[in-house]
Structure 1
Amino acid sequence: MEATSSPSTAQSRRQLLLKASSQKSKLRPKPNGSSMVVDYYYAVQHPNEADDETGAELARGRACSFGTVLKRDGSSTKKCFVISPIGCDESEIRQHANDVFNFIILPALHSRNVDCVRSDMITDLGQITDQMYEAIFQWDLCVAVLTFLNPNVFYELALRHCVGLPVICLIERGQSLPFNVSDMRVIEYTLKPKLLFEGSYAEEVADAVDSLARNHWKCPYPFAKFSPSICSAPTYYSDSHDMESRWNESQWSEFLHQAQDHLDIMGAALRHVKKYEDDIKEVALRKCHVRLLMWDHESPSFKSMTNLTGKQYEALKLNVDHWYSGLAVLARSSEYITLRKTTCGTTLFSCVSTEKEVIYQPDFFDLSSFENNPVFYSNDTKSSLYLAVQSDFNLLWELNANADSSLEEVDGSSEKA
């Protein structure tokens, strides 16, 4: 096994790496013009644009703002939090962490349109621990550097495992993992300039990201067989816009198409059905039962539930009628698609659920706009969220069994819609 970098060699390796990289690097101004950053990905794609002065600055390390991420074209949609030992300024640990970040993690994620940041690089106002926990609990990906066996790193890794979200682990070759995590898949690396310069380890990280992308950024929950309903927390999105920024149309289509037994849609979520009408029809063609449960503004509970008055309430009623008319056309296209109104009972939330997954959103959590309400996603069918949504939906569905006949009332108007 190769020994880890010693304090006497860490700085020399760092300088060798910087010098070796100088011919394939490009420095760019930060947005505020205060310093420069290294855009490694751009440099590899444009090796002829580096000049001697730029290379000299890079070799001296003066212009490098380590860990600063510039979006190349604004297309990055995923966020990664790097769990890493940090150490004091100018320490061996800090230099090691910077090299791993800048020459392995950053180029790998940058090439896959994933933005990444380490806790010491967060510049937003607020408590650093709160921002760190938010990233661990909510961001699309974490990369954990286990080198030096730092206790904080393993604590943050454990938190990430508890929420069941993707994490990629790295460790320097020659170091051993503790027993409890010894069976985890890790990417081993060294800080040899040649291998870093060739991008061997960055390519391994990029391959791991590609694998996650093929699985729609989902991973098995590590503790599912021990405590599925207690430990498995749903994914949280602050509002509809937050979710839409992380779920593209292909992911939505995949969510709908994986339904084999049933697809249930209720409440405000139905206003988006038109966009995915073809997907829903394809689901019904497989003889999968699609159940659509829409609001009924004639229900006594509807007005008090919305807490709206005057023009706002009248506008909502018109929208509900419009949505329902469109849904009626869809329901008549297949015997496997059924539409009902909640004439009895109250829908306090919207949902899209299958036998495998559920998306849940409170309907009137924020009265100013449905889009401002928080959204929760879970693929754990034994979780309390999934079981509660299924129970409430089934109860309301049975309570409104007679509402199927109301389709006849909108027959003419829905054809026009």
Structure 2
Amino acid sequence: MSNQHKHRHHHRSQSSQSRSHHHSTPLRHELSVHHPTMHRSATSALFRPSGDGDASMVVDYYYGMHHRDMTIGENDDGESESEHKRCFVLSPIGPEGSEIRQHADDVLSFIIMPATHSRNIECVRSDMKSDVGGITDVVYDAVFNWDLCIAVLTSLNPNVFYELALRQCVGLPVICLIQKGDRVPFDVADQRLIEYTLNPTPLFQGKYAQQVANAIDSLAEQEWKTDYAFAKFQPRICSAPMYFGKMHDLRQRGGVTLGETIQHSTHVDIMGTTLRRWKKYEDDLKVAAAKQCDVRILMMDKDNPALSNLVSLKGKQLEALRLTLDDVSTFYAALARSSKYITLRKVKNGAMLFSYCRTDKEMIYQPHFYDQGNEDTPVWHCESSSTLYHSAKGDFELLWERNREDEITCCNDDDHDDDEAQVS
């Protein structure tokens, strides 16, 4: 090995060690590529820093994939893949051996995989999945549930655009790539696109892989939140319920916070077993009440005989839940006494099978599961025109009437005057 080659090899090794200090240990992958494996000595001239890329990102990924025994499922520290984020690639694939397949493999191997690998993200294309079940189910599951999608728009493949549209409908992060020179359709022209070529120099210098990695970093800084593409059209298209995540996704939907929605409503109903997470919206509920918005709060009474049959908790855990109910009901009782527009009722008769927040225009709905905490169960959103909206409202009204005797509300005339003074 020449001194010059040894110097380059040493420089790349140092770069790799430096990067491993700053990033999590990359995932191992089982990847089959369809272009010949190249030797470092034959291509070393290509791997010079370009100023806007990271050549070692591509080198370390590409050669690492071919010179180690790698399997999806564990990283170098033996951690489970479930602890990492997942990326699904929406891409034209084409028959094996075709130009389309060759192009797709090159984009995957030299742009997408090095970027996701460097950020410790599992990356999969549909032809790499071996799950039991149809390929369509695999695609739908990834599009609707995975942390990230990367869409390759090159050649304007209709399947890719269909999957991209589904991804945008659920409002989850997506990064788009397109080959330089390809026509950009008007309906995605206003989105940020990463343009690439398969010319050897920028490809192997890591220019495009670095751009993808930067886009991933930007999403991470935003806590993987993204603007909902159809937010301003939602009232027109969402007559059916739309799944939008877990309870931790509640606080913001398409750039509009739940608190803002509450503040600008004329009627708000909140129902749930403990309603602990809704305590953070105390100020928003007070603002709504100051605008003469009727707020009705319905929560479970600690002495409801159905409570022990609605949750899997037993013994001390069940008693802890009752203590929580007692504490939270004290909080909401004080809130109800602060305004004549806020009313609290505790359910002693009947049982609640879901939690929800309903305004005059929309509803957030979460079913109760016997053996799962609310943080792990799905959350749905729907407009006032949906069947689910009216069905849930009917259940609320029935429970509200049956528990009229356990009502807490403001009954002090001075407080009434204070409310009216705030509105004026």
Q: What range describes the TM-score normalised by the shorter chain of this pair?
A: 0.5 to 0.7
Give the secondary structure class of the aligned counterpart of 2:182. coil
Residue pair 1:378, 1:385 contacting (<8 A) in 2 also = no
2:238 and 2:309 map into 1 onto residues whose CA distance is 35
Q: Identify if the C-alpha distance between structure 1 residues 175 and 249 changes in structure 2 by more than 3 Å, giving closer, same or farther.
A: closer
Give the secondary structure class of the aligned counterpart of 1:157. helix
Aligned partner of 2:6 in structure 1 is none
1:215 Cα deviation from its structure 2 partner: 8.3
- The residue correspondences of 1:248-263 to structure 2 (distance < 5 A) are 257-258=259-260, 259-260=262-263, 261=265
- The residue correspondences of 1:181-200 to structure 2 (distance < 5 A) are 181=187, 183=189, 185=191, 187=193, 188-196=195-203, 197=205, 199=207
Residue pair 2:92, 2:100 contacting (<8 A) in 1 also = yes
Residue pair 2:238, 2:382 contacting (<8 A) in 1 also = no
Residue pair 1:36, 1:64 contacting (<8 A) in 2 also = no
1:56 and 1:166 map into 2 onto residues whose CA distance is 27
Residue pair 1:360, 1:376 contacting (<8 A) in 2 also = yes
- The residue correspondences of 1:18-417 to structure 2 (distance < 5 A) are 58=62, 62-63=66-67, 78-89=85-96, 91-106=98-113, 108-109=115-116, 115-163=122-170, 165-177=172-184, 181=187, 183=189, 185=191, 187=193, 188-196=195-203, 197=205, 199=207, 202-203=210-211, 206-207=214-215, 210=218, 213=222, 216-221=225-230, 224=234, 227-230=237-240, 233-235=242-244, 243=246, 247=249, 257-258=259-260, 259-260=262-263, 261=265, 264-268=269-273, 270=275, 272-273=276-277, 277=279, 279-284=280-285, 286=287, 291-296=296-301, 302=306, 306=309, 312=314, 318=319, 321-334=322-335, 335=338, 338-352=343-357, 358-363=363-368, 365=369, 367-370=370-373, 374-378=377-381, 383-386=386-389, 388-390=391-393, 392-393=395-396, 396-397=399-400, 400-405=403-408
The C-alpha deviation readout for 1:202-242, integer Å capped at 9, x for no partner, is 43674487369378334133864653314x6323x6xxxxx
Residue pair 1:362, 1:373 contacting (<8 A) in 2 also = no
Letter of the structure 1 residue corresponding to residue 199 of structure 2: K
Q: Identify if the C-alpha distance between structure 1 residues 315 and 374 changes in structure 2 by more than 3 Å, giving closer, same or farther.
A: same
1:141 and 1:85 map into 2 onto residues whose CA distance is 18
2:236 and 2:112 map into 1 onto residues whose CA distance is 33
Residue pair 1:378, 1:386 contacting (<8 A) in 2 also = no
TM-score normalised by structure 1 residue count: 0.62
Q: Identify if the C-alpha distance between structure 1 residues 186 and 379 changes in structure 2 by more than 3 Å, giving closer, same or farther.
A: farther
Residue pair 2:179, 2:196 contacting (<8 A) in 1 also = yes
1:370 and 1:57 map into 2 onto residues whose CA distance is 39
The C-alpha deviation readout for 1:154-189, integer Å capped at 9, x for no partner, is 34334435545443332212122457x465635132
The C-alpha deviation readout for 1:10-62, integer Å capped at 9, x for no partner, is xxxxxxxxx9x97766899998898999xxxxx99xx9997xxx969957984
The C-alpha deviation readout for 1:68-114, integer Å capped at 9, x for no partner, is 79879979664332110123445433332233234443455566675
2:287 and 2:111 map into 1 onto residues whose CA distance is 45
Aligned partner of 1:6 in structure 2 is none
Residue pair 1:362, 1:374 contacting (<8 A) in 2 also = yes
Residue pair 1:81, 1:136 contacting (<8 A) in 2 also = yes
Residue pair 2:168, 2:229 contacting (<8 A) in 1 also = no
1:281 Cα deviation from its structure 2 partner: 3.8
1:294 Cα deviation from its structure 2 partner: 1.4
Aligned partner of 1:11 in structure 2 is none
Q: Identify if the C-alpha distance between structure 1 residues 294 and 106 changes in structure 2 by more than 3 Å, giving closer, same or farther.
A: same
1:177 and 1:329 map into 2 onto residues whose CA distance is 58
Q: Identify if the C-alpha distance between structure 1 residues 115 and 293 changes in structure 2 by more than 3 Å, giving closer, same or farther.
A: farther
1:148 and 1:280 map into 2 onto residues whose CA distance is 48
Residue pair 1:144, 1:169 contacting (<8 A) in 2 also = yes
1:158 and 1:250 map into 2 onto residues whose CA distance is 21
The C-alpha deviation readout for 1:361-410, integer Å capped at 9, x for no partner, is 222x4x34445974223275655545554564456445544422499xxx
Q: Identify if the C-alpha distance between structure 1 residues 202 and 102 changes in structure 2 by more than 3 Å, giving closer, same or farther.
A: farther
What percent of counterpart residues are identical? 35
Give the secondary structure class of the aligned counterpart of 2:175. strand
Residue pair 1:103, 1:202 contacting (<8 A) in 2 also = no
The total of aligned residue pairs comes to: 357
Give the secondary structure class of the aligned counterpart of 1:234. strand
Residue pair 2:272, 2:355 contacting (<8 A) in 1 also = yes
1:89 and 1:327 map into 2 onto residues whose CA distance is 61
Residue pair 2:365, 2:380 contacting (<8 A) in 1 also = yes
Residue pair 1:85, 1:97 contacting (<8 A) in 2 also = yes
Give the secondary structure class of the aligned counterpart of 2:160. helix
1:166 and 1:209 map into 2 onto residues whose CA distance is 12
Give the secondary structure class of the aligned counterpart of 1:174. coil
CA RMSD of aligned residues (A): 5.4
Residue pair 2:28, 2:75 contacting (<8 A) in 1 also = no
Residue pair 1:345, 1:396 contacting (<8 A) in 2 also = yes
Aligned partner of 2:43 in structure 1 is none
1:94 and 1:269 map into 2 onto residues whose CA distance is 54
